[in-house]
A and B are shown apart, each in its own frame.
Chain A
């Protein structure tokens, strides 16, 4: 599983990255969490408001910071 956190480096993006890493740890997933900061790559996913979360090239969350337990649910379902 490849998880990407999209964001240009604002504080919300860092918060989402942190929560995502916690969620991955909680589930004991063998997943890589990458940070995508390039605007062209972000727009390529059709995301207009950061931060956003992408799991295996699919946008699962955008425009807001989700709490760790919400991300756990998202990751379980995808």
Chain B
């Protein structure tokens, strides 16, 4: 157990890169350049390892939960239990913003209540394998799991409120008239599941690696050079506006902005609030502009506005909460 823990904490890698920087590059770790280079190499290797493993594992599990099955399961639920179920299914059902429209239509057609559909749509992008892996790499297990749990809570609460508001007439009419065909759920063998998981690893890493490297690069510079007191003053846990600004900034960014997490890691070490960083992450994934444009095809602007407002407020609250309890987490 100690061995596995040690392996997961990446102390071995930390030491290894330290040896590389000090003995091969001949730069002392106490210099700014040395600590920046160390941050860059160490973070890159750690995140790539964790990304690969996590995406593979989660994708493998997800191959058992095609949306058709999720739809059938959810159409049997109602009430708060249904919202919780929908959020949990949001974690295990494979999701990308390009399939949010067919999933929405499929759910509505199967009679899944609107509130449950939104619980699913809110949690699904927040709790994604890449975010989980990068959080794990940057902040460790406790925070990564807490992120998942809060992602579920945000989805449940958002879905319950949207359900209570009775906004069914804010869905485009054609959605209710749509004829959805029946198609069988494909039976996959193990080789096909492994293939599916590997393809996902390739696809996600291929999509975000460049943002990640830029993020780690900027993080490395901050790590070596940024003046901690200044940052703590403007974006620290004591500045009430920081979380709010982080969420607003996160909305126009797409999930590729996950690459910015290493920036957050470096910033937090310099005194920026952890809740601020978490809120930023949730906002980039749950409230992306491209997804809203896609959803506009099936829901009217008013419901989109409710969706953004409710989810946004929930995320801001999460940010404050995490800032308030930060000292218990790290």
A residues neighboring B (CB under 8 Å): 7-13, 39-40, 42-50, 59, 61-65, 67, 70
- Chain B residues lying within 8 Å of A65, measured Cβ to Cβ, are 199, 203
- Chain B residues lying within 8 Å of A12, measured Cβ to Cβ, are 96, 98, 203
| A21 CB, min distance to chain B CBs, angstroms | 18
Contact between A43 and B98, CB atoms less than 8 A apart: no
Contact between A48 and B181, CB atoms less than 8 A apart: no
Cβ-based interface call for B182 (8 A) = yes
Across chains A and B, the number of contacting residue pairs, with CB separation under 8 Å, is 74
Q: Which of B276-310 contact A (CB under 8 A)?
A: 297
Interface string of B179-203 (1 = CB under 8 A from A): 1111110100000100110010001
Known: A8-B101, A49-B67, A63-B94. A40 touches B178 (CB 8 A): yes
Give the contacting residue for B98; candidates A50, A61, A62; CB below 8 A. Answer: A50
Q: Give the distance in Å from the alpha carbon of A45 to the alpha carbon of B182 in the complex.
A: 7
Give the contacting residue for B99; candidates A46, A48, A70; CB below 8 A. Answer: A48
- Chain A residues lying within 8 Å of B101, measured Cβ to Cβ, are 8, 39
Q: Which of B194-245 contact A (CB under 8 A)?
A: 195-196, 199, 203
| B185 CB, min distance to chain A CBs, angstroms | 9
Contact between B178 and A46, CB atoms less than 8 A apart: no
B residues neighboring A (CB under 8 Å): 66-68, 71, 94, 96, 98-99, 101-103, 105-106, 109, 174, 178-184, 186, 192, 195-196, 199, 203, 297
Which 6 pairs show the lowest CB-CB distances between chains A and B? A46-B183, A46-B181, A10-B98, A48-B67, A48-B106, A59-B183
Known: A48-B68, A48-B102, A49-B102. A67 touches B178 (CB 8 A): no
| A59 CB, min distance to chain B CBs, angstroms | 4
Known: A61-B186, A63-B66. A43 touches B102 (CB 8 A): yes
| A75 CB, min distance to chain B CBs, angstroms | 16
Contact between B181 and A64, CB atoms less than 8 A apart: no
- Which of A9, A13, A61, A65 has the largest number of chain B CB atoms within 10 A? A65
Contact between B98 and A47, CB atoms less than 8 A apart: no
Contact between A49 and B94, CB atoms less than 8 A apart: yes
- Chain B residues lying within 8 Å of A7, measured Cβ to Cβ, are 98
- Chain A residues lying within 8 Å of B184, measured Cβ to Cβ, are 59
Give the contacting residue for A39; candidates B71, B183, B297; CB below 8 A. Answer: B297
- Chain A residues lying within 8 Å of B199, measured Cβ to Cβ, are 64-65
Give the contacting residue for A43; candidates B96, B181, B192; CB below 8 A. Answer: B181
